[in-house]
């Protein structure tokens, strides 16, 4: 099945670096709120999380974002699931949001770590009772004999613990993505894209030139690669206007 002729005209406004400023998370929250208020977007907090397992195989799945912090994102999962095991073996992680009606995409890269027990407990208590039960009885990513087996286990637990104050199972809790870089994309007119990448400045010392600073975030980049990236990010004109330009 060929999809060569699938085309869509992307005609919303392009993204300017001036809109983002020096606080990309604040800008992300602005975009998130706009997506959340948009009628055609069902779950603005749905994000695709990608991990790599111990055999170096990548996998992706959609989870729900539950908190946005200054430099991190939080979601909840079964630590014994495939993504939980992958994070344990390799904490490098990528999370992306795609809001087609707004022609916007945001990608986060970072390191994943478990949230504190107190934090996970607090969120678990906020969940509806049936959702608490599901977290307790579900062996996510594990093989079961049939759906009826899982359903019977669920109903039995409900019957036995109907009026109980349930405790969070230790295999279930929060995962915090500590953000390393934030590429923010806005699909531009006629299939063009504007992209701005942010790397936290406290992760490295500044080099002696703008060229070397930018190369820090680009693997094996040439001078031409850097210039091309800056043109894409629409900051090339500003750089060449400096007395020493890239040098």
pLDDT digit string (tens) for the chain, length 247 residues: 988 888 877 777 677 667 777 788 999 999 999 999 999 999 999 999 999 999 999 999 999 999 999 889 999 999 999 999 999 999 999 999 999 999 899 999 999 999 999 999 999 999 998 889 888 887 765 555 667 777 888 788 887 887 788 999 999 999 999 998 767 666 554 444 455 666 555 444 445 677 777 766 556 778 887 888 777 766 788 788 887 787 7
Question: Which pLDDT does position 218 carry in this prediction?
Answer: 58
Structure-token pair, residue 109: 């890269």
Residue 45: the pLDDT is 98
For residue 42, give the DSSP letter: S
The residues, ordered by sequence, that sit 6+ positions from 199 with a Cβ below 8 Å of its Cβ are 180, 181, 216, 217
pTM higher than 0.75 = no
Q: Tell me, what's the pLDDT at 205?
A: 43
- Nearest Cα neighbor of 216 from 204, 234, 227 is 204
Alpha-carbon distances of 27 from 75, 84, 177, 235, rounded to whole Å: 20, 29, 18, 18
- Give, in degrees to the nearest 5, the angle at Cα 77 between 71 and 143: 150
Write out the H or E segment, with its range, that includes residue 209: none
- Give the residue among 181, 186, 178 at the shortest CA–CA distance from 30: 186
Q: Could you tell me whether strands 172-187 and 72-78 are parallel, antiparallel, or unpaired per DSSP bridges?
A: antiparallel
Spatial contact of 97 and 105, defined as CB atoms under 8 Å apart: yes
pLDDT value at position 211?
A: 78
R_g over Cα of the chain: 22
């Amino acid at each position: 099945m060929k999809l060569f002729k699938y085309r869509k005209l992307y005609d919303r406004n392009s993204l300017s670096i001036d809109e983002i400023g020096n606080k990309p998370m604040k800008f992300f929250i602005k975009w998130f709120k706009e997506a959340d208020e948009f009628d055609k977007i069902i779950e603005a907090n749905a994000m695709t999380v990608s991990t790599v397992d111990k055999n170096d195989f990548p996998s992706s799945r959609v989870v729900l974002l539950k908190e946005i912090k200054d430099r991190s994102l939080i979601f909840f999962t079964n630590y014994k699931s495939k993504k939980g095991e992958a994070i344990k073996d390799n904490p490098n992680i990528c999370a992306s949001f795609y809001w087609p009606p707004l022609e916007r995409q945001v990608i986060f890269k970072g390191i994943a770590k478990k949230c504190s027990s107190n934090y996970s407990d607090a969120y678990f208590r906020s969940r509806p009772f049936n959702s608490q039960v599901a977290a307790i009885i579900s062996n996510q990513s594990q093989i079961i004999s049939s759906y009826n087996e899982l359903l019977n286990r669920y109903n039995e637990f409900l019957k036995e613990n109907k009026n109980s104050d349930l405790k969070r199972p230790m295999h279930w809790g929060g995962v915090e993505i500590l953000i390393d870089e934030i590429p923010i994309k806005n699909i531009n007119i006629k299939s063009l894209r504007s992209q701005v990448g942010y790397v936290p400045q406290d992760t490295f010392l500044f080099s002696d030139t703008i060229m070397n600073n930018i190369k820090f975030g680009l693997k094996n980049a040439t001078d031409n690669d850097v210039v091309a990236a800056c043109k894409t990010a629409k900051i090339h004109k500003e750089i060449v206007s400096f007395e020493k330009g890239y040098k």
